[in-house]
Structure 1
Amino acid sequence: MLFKIMIAMLAFAANSVLCRLALTDQYIDPMSFSLIRVCSGAAVLLLLYLFSAQKAKIEWNVINGFFLALYIVAFSWAYLHIDAGVGALLLFGTVQLSMVSYGLWHGEKINIQRGAGLGIAILGIFILLLPGAAAPNLVYAAMMVLSGIGWALYSIAGKNMQSSLASTLANFVLAIPFVLLVYAAFYTKSFVQPQGVLLAVLSGGLASSGAYVLWYAIVKQIDRVTASSVQLSVPCLAILGGVLFIGEALSWRIIIATVIVLVGIALVVFDKSVLNSAVKVKS
């Protein structure tokens, strides 16, 4: 399970890096990036479904498709005019608060260890992203918050899906019309270069499609508090990706904050009471 979570989080971070590369270097506009991303994701998922040994019944849910489209469009749009670090904080901070609040509302409990882990992880995010970051434009900050709400709702919906591959395929297909409508509204401002197309295809066909199937399989086996907590690692991984692939500076503050976040996540994920209850349920 831990290995699967790590793969999913790396893919989520890769989406941030790919989007930043494409938009910062002006290889493509955000709506074209979003449309190519969702279409390439749907194409890859369709191939995986067609070649799968057991073809589960496809679960069509327009609301889930809308949640996915909301996340993708708002994500790309916000990263056009907002600092990457602040954007990651707003996105996954919103996901954290949304999923924890939903979990508590539906009876999930947080003990001392998990509460401390959440607090430590959030502290690490603030240390990592807030100091030295320029104040974000309120409009685009709101777009990133909206993206976080969309992703939180999409993750929560994953608990009710029977087949992660079939349901993710349906969600991507149903997200296309929503993204297409937004693209059409801003068609006159669209521009595409080959590098932008490649980055969008990598984001949709590699870092999104397969990773979202994996994520839907994961969220069915863990509670919402854990699901939201492990995603706090994504901003840290995105910062490291920026260092490796975009040439951003790596400081001791980044290293220390990353360690703090990972320690907090470890406290949540490796809570003995939750692990023991999970083992009892399986047995």
Structure 2
Amino acid sequence: AYFRGERLSGSEISGFLIAFAGLIYLILPGAGAPSLLGFILMSISGAAWGVYSLPGKNSTDTLSDTFFNFLRTLPLVAVLLINGVIFGSLQLNAEGLLLAALSGGIASGLGYTIWFLAAKRLNTSQSAAVQLLVPVIAAFFGLSLLDEAITQRLVLSSLLILGGVILVVITRGLVASR
């Protein structure tokens, strides 16, 4: 956002700091928090998602663009499959392939498409703030689908993240309407 000329107000900066503090609290070392390697991999994934999201906001055909982006990953998939065959670590079965296709191809593809359509209505800083909600959404799906426990850490960090994101989105919306 900064390199595209967007300047954040004090309220927006505060919102980002609050949301980021909530994220850090959520992943601080402790029971249920990710390992350092997990944190690093999630951070790389988040940065990659941000880089991927920026051009997607300008897409005129989000479904088609997402489909072709998925096709571009097939050489990497082939390398991983060959690696699995060579080292004997490849374990394929029909259920796993079906779940991978449904989760990776259909759910993710539709999710990216919907995100790009929504992101068109947000500026870059709002999009970045909204992305901080992903760990909270994932955690609450874990609660509902995996019967995980609600912890004080999850509730407090979720409130911080949500509050910070709301502050960024509302403030940016108020600034834009002036």
Both proteins in one fold, TM over 0.5 = yes
Corresponding residue for residue 107 of structure 2: 207
In structure 2, distance between residues paired with 1:259 and 1:137: 24
**Corresponding residue for 1:136?**
35
Report the counterpart of residue 69 of structure 2 in structure 1.
171
More off after superposition, 245-254 vs 113-122: 245-254
Q: Give secondary structure in 2 for the equivalent of 1:132.
A: coil
| CA–CA distance in structure 1, aligned partners of residues 137 and 14 of structure 2 | 22
Give yes or no for the alignment of 1:191 onto 2:91. yes
Distance 2:36 2:162 in 1: 29
Cα RMSD of the aligned pairs, angstroms, is: 2.3
Distance 1:183 1:145, change over 3 A: farther
Write the distance in 2 (CA, Å) between the matches of 1:248 and 1:144: 20
Identity %: 33
Pairing 1:264–2:126 present: no
Q: Distance in 1 between matches of 2:36 and 2:133?
A: 24
Trace 1:1-283 onto structure 2 (pairs within 5 A).
103-133=1-31, 136=35, 138=37, 141-187=39-85, 188-271=88-171, 272-276=173-177
Residue of structure 2 in register with 1:8 after alignment = none
Amino acid at match of 1:228: A
Q: Which has the higher contact order (CA 8 A, sep 6+)?
A: 2
Tell me the alpha carbon deviations over residues 110-150 of structure 1, each in whole angstroms, 9 at most, x when there is no partner: 10111111111111112222151567254x65444332332
**1:80 matched residue in structure 2:** none
Instruction: Give the letter aligned to residue 245 of structure 1.
Output: L
TM (norm. structure 2) is 0.83
Number of positions where the alignment pairs a residue of Structure 1 with one of Structure 2: 174
TM-score by length of 1: 0.55
* Offset at residue 229 of structure 1 (A): 0.9
Shift of 1:253: 2.3
- Go from structure 1 to structure 2 and tell me whether the alpha carbon gap of 1:135 and 1:221 turns closer, same or farther (over 3 Å shift): closer
**8 Å contact from structure 2 (residues 27, 39) kept in 1:** no
**Residues 87-123 of structure 1: per-residue CA shift (max 9 Å, x gap):** xxxxxxxxxxxxxxxx212211110111111111111
Alpha-carbon distance, 1:232 to partner: 1.0
- Structure 1 position 182, deviation (Å): 2.9
Q: Which runs of 5+ in 2 are unaligned?
A: none
For 1:137 and 1:270, locate their aligned partners in 2 and report how far apart those are by CA, in whole Å: 33
What are structure 1's unaligned runs of at least 5 residues? 1-102, 278-283
